[in-house]
Amino acid sequence: IAAIAFLGWSVLGLGAASALLLGAALAPTDPVLAADVQVGPPQTGEEDDIRFALTSEAGLNDGLSFPFVLAAIAIASQADGGYEWVGRWLAVDVVLKLAAGVVMGWIVGRALGYLTFKVPRAGRIAKTGDGLAALGFTCIAYGATELVHGYGFVAVFVSALTLRSVERNSDFHGELHDFGEQIERLLTMVLLVCFGSVLTEGALLSEVDWRIAVVAVVVLALVRPLAGWVSLLGCRRSRAERFIVSVFGIRGIGSIYYLAYASGRAEFGGIQIVWSTVLVIILMSILLHGVAVTPVMRWIDKERGVDSTRRMNRDPGEAGLDDLISKR
């Protein structure tokens, strides 16, 4: 976040609030746009450190980036440019809201785990075999946490981990995963179509110039790989594996959500430049990472003696959405 904010300030000429917003908006990653870096379904034995790291990072960093979006909003809302907002931001937006997200996620996860796996058999949610429950679980965790002013994204991540820990051997986890994966891809397709229509319309890309192109290349080729590599220092993995985790920080839908949220809460100078930069980086990330991820992951799987074709031929995830619905 700091490195991207510095680029926004020094290269793009953005103010403090807009530069911080740029950094916070580009922090979330999105492995949905490159499915080969996602972990496989539960109980398939396909999980590995690379895919787990990239998937879990994307699940957690959405919530951890949000305090910095709120900081950008606070700076933009300060008419006198003072620092009175810092104390409240640290106490409320960083500490209390993150803690609320973690605690509520654990509570909701335990409660849902009990209702799903532990109540008398006739009343168990798992007995239905309906993967649609995944959507309901997500909404419950997110909504309940937002009601107490916590971070819903963090709560959903924690509740999913907690729910999984309540009962690790149930086949219902596979049902939840399969339905969630199908809905995830359908919604991503819709959002990408909207993203493409925005690009072709051209208004948000009117500010694109050489400075934005330079920032986009530096963010994808230097900032993310270096930050990822530093964070993995001391990790007992090969250099190739650490390099892949460092590079494949795919930008996606989370960046658009954060930017739209902040734009509706405060007036930011140079917001058109921020939007243009984010859209260009997302487009480049989708193209570069999307093209490279499959051959790279197949290569590293081959180096580690892992059969990549198993991910292509797994049974649980092969059913389309229509098949899943028709079964119900």
pLDDT in tens, 156-213: 999 999 998 888 888 888 888 888 888 888 888 888 888 888 888 777 777 789 999 9
Is pLDDT of 320 > 60? no
Token pair recorded at residue 261 = 């949220």
Total domain count, the chain: 1
pLDDT at position 48 is: 66
> Residue 107: CB partners within 8 Å, gap ≥ 6?
none
- Provide the domain limits for residue 91: 2-327
**Closest listed residue to residue 86, CA positions, set 98, 107, 72:** 72
Rama region for 149: left / alpha / beta (φ>0; ψ in -120 to 50; rest) = left
What is d(CA 308, CA 302) in angstroms, rounded to the nearest whole number? 8
pTM for the complete prediction? 0.83
pLDDT in tens, 48-66: 677 777 777 877 787 789 9
Please provide residue 79's backbone torsions phi and psi, each rounded to the nearest 5 degrees. -70, -35
What is d(CA 302, CA 231) in angstroms, rounded to the nearest whole number? 25
SS3 170: coil
CATH number, domain containing residue 215: 1.20.1530.20
Token pair recorded at residue 27 = 């922090």
Are the beta carbons of 66 and 258 closer than 8 angstroms?
yes
> Residue 25: CB partners within 8 Å, gap ≥ 6?
65, 69, 255, 258, 259, 262, 274, 278
